[in-house]
Amino acid sequence: MQEVLHFFTNISDEVRGIFLISGLLFFLFLESGIPLFKMEYNKIKHAFINITFTIITLIVNLFGALLILAAVNYNETNGTGLLNLAEMPLWLYVILGLIFLDLIGAWLIHWIEHKVKWLWKFHLIHHTDTNVDVTSGLRHHPGENIFRLLFTSLAVFVTGASFGLVMLYQTLSAFFAHLTHANIKMPLSVDKALSYIFVTPHFHKIHHHYVLPHTDSNYGNIFSIWDHGFRTASYINNMDDLVYGIDTHSDPNEHGSIKNLLLIPFQDYRPPVGSKFNS
């Protein structure tokens, strides 16, 4: 375990990039062999839009890394953070660190984005995708990237996670973004069994159903335990019942335009069926 943390402490941007691209290509290959849905769409155009947002995400994260590093340095200098309150085996340190980084840096901000109207309008871009596949995982508005970076930094500050642990978490987070959005079919029994601990492809796909209440469920990133613990988990019996997208932005001219996707947070709010934020 020490060797793993040492590796991720010294991991270069080039190696992280290789991990990201390799994961993307691996799940693209799986999608062609065991697709969950046989979707008829322009995959190249769809990938161009999503990868454009992915590149923007990576650029924002480069600057955000400075904030994360500042939180790491503060904890190391002052001995602060939950993980530094008591001595523990390294394996327990890693597991608890990953779990609580995931709670604060991913689950919590995701839940808040669904509960606060102006944050929802930024997160909405992720839900407008009507053809969820492996390229959808990092389809986030630049504004949302900033919110998530702030919460990741908060998670690092609260937990006291080391730089190596943070890099391990972010690498696993990118892998799960690929895995859970990939258009791949898993045996329902296997997927459901694993979904009580981890976010699985079918478990997360329910979150991308186009109407409430499923849209406001299954917020997990790596671990699904928070959804089960906070009673925000939901299941469906038949995956064929899923319809991707969001009912407020079903026009292809809106969700298929990078310019419009960037402008959606600044447009008038549209309440979905189910009265989200209606008063």
What does pLDDT average to in each consecutive run of 10 residues of the chain (279 residues)?
86 87 93 92 93 91 88 93 92 97 97 95 95 94 95 96 95 95 93 96 95 92 97 92 90 91 93 64
The pLDDT value given to residue 117: 93
- Hey, how many other C-beta atoms are within 10 angstroms of the C-beta on 108? 17
The pLDDT value given to residue 277: 64
- Coil, strand or helix at 35: coil
Would you say residue 167 lies in a domain?
yes
Q: How far apart are CA 156 and CA 150, in angstroms?
A: 10
Place of tokens 């990953």: 98
Largest Cα–Cα distance in the chain? 56
Q: Which two tokens stand for residue 201?
A: 């492809």
Would you say residue 275 lies in a domain?
no
pTM: 0.93
The pLDDT value given to residue 106: 97
The pLDDT value given to residue 276: 62
Residue 255: domain span: 2-264
Residue by residue, DSSP assigns 221-244 as SSB-HHHHHTT-----S-GGG--B
Total count of residues recorded for the chain:
279
Q: How far apart are CA 214 and CA 224, in angstroms?
A: 15
C-alpha pair distances (Å), 28 with each of 15, 43, 132, 133, 222: 20, 11, 12, 8, 20
Would you say residue 84 lies in a domain?
yes
Would you say residue 279 lies in a domain?
no
Would you say residue 270 lies in a domain?
no
Q: How far apart are CA 60 and CA 138, in angstroms?
A: 12
Would you say residue 271 lies in a domain?
no
- Coil, strand or helix at 252: helix
- Hey, how many other C-beta atoms are within 10 angstroms of the C-beta on 46? 20
Q: How far apart are CA 141 and CA 264, in angstroms?
A: 9
AA letter at 183: N
Would you say residue 141 lies in a domain?
yes
Q: Residue 169 — φ and ψ, nearest 5°?
A: -60, -45
Rg (CA), the chain: 19
Would you say residue 278 lies in a domain?
no
The total of structural domains in the chain comes to 1
**Closest Cα to residue 153, out of 216, 106, 87?**
106
